[in-house]
């Protein structure tokens, strides 16, 4: 018998239980870290798509005579307001609703999406703090439930902004 086998055989039952639980915990947290890392890489790749598409949409809107009513600086302030509202353990929904109420037209929204770009979010876990890279749409859908997203979509549709989160 190997030393490990003899060591385990001679252990009291309670110690074997602790070893088993510890092994399961190590396997769980390792697998969780790998899965979260893969998810983060996929999210980062997907995030770039909307940001690029927003530039194309802004060009189309400009050709149609629809230009943003907010400046880049204002869009950055709104983007930061939204990021701050979703980047903590609790979400400040009212701050997010206020941010979307400040938009006047579709060009404002696409400017916000462009300026928002891809931002970092920290998932505050028990032992592991993965950092995710989200665009505006991903941040909203990751952090808010369907009723809250429906309220954002209603705010936008009331302003004749044709975009759904």
**What's the pLDDT tens digit per position in 83-140?**
999 876 678 999 999 999 999 999 999 999 999 999 988 766 666 667 778 899 999 9
Q: Where are the domains of the chain?
A: 3-158
Residue 9: Cβ within 10 Å count? 9
The model's pTM is 0.71
Alpha helices in the chain, H assignment, sequence order: 3-10, 13-63, 72-86, 93-101, 106-116, 136-143, 146-158
DSSP state at residue 164: -
Whole-number average pLDDT of the chain: 85
Tell me which of 68 and 35 has the higher pLDDT: 68
Tell me which of 34 and 145 has the higher pLDDT: 145
pLDDT of amino acid 133: 83
């Amino acid at each position: 018998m190997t030393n490990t086998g003899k060591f385990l055989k001679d252990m009291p039952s309670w110690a074997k239980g602790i070893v088993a639980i510890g092994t399961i915990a190590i396997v769980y947290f390792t697998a969780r870290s790998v899965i979260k890392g893969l998810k983060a890489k996929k999210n980062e790749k997907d995030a770039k798509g909307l940001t690029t598409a927003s530039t194309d949409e802004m060009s189309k809107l400009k050709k149609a005579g629809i230009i943003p009513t907010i400046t880049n600086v204002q869009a950055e302030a709104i983007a930061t307001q939204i990021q701050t509202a979703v980047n903590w353990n609790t979400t400040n929904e009212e701050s997010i609703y206020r941010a979307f109420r400040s938009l006047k037209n579709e060009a404002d929204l696409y400017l916000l999406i462009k300026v928002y770009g891809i931002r970092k979010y920290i998932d505050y876990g028990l032992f592991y703090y993965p950092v995710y890279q989200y665009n505006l749409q991903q941040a909203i859908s990751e952090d808010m439930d369907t009723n809250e997203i429906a309220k954002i979509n209603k705010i936008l549709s009331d302003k004749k902004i044709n975009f759904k989160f």
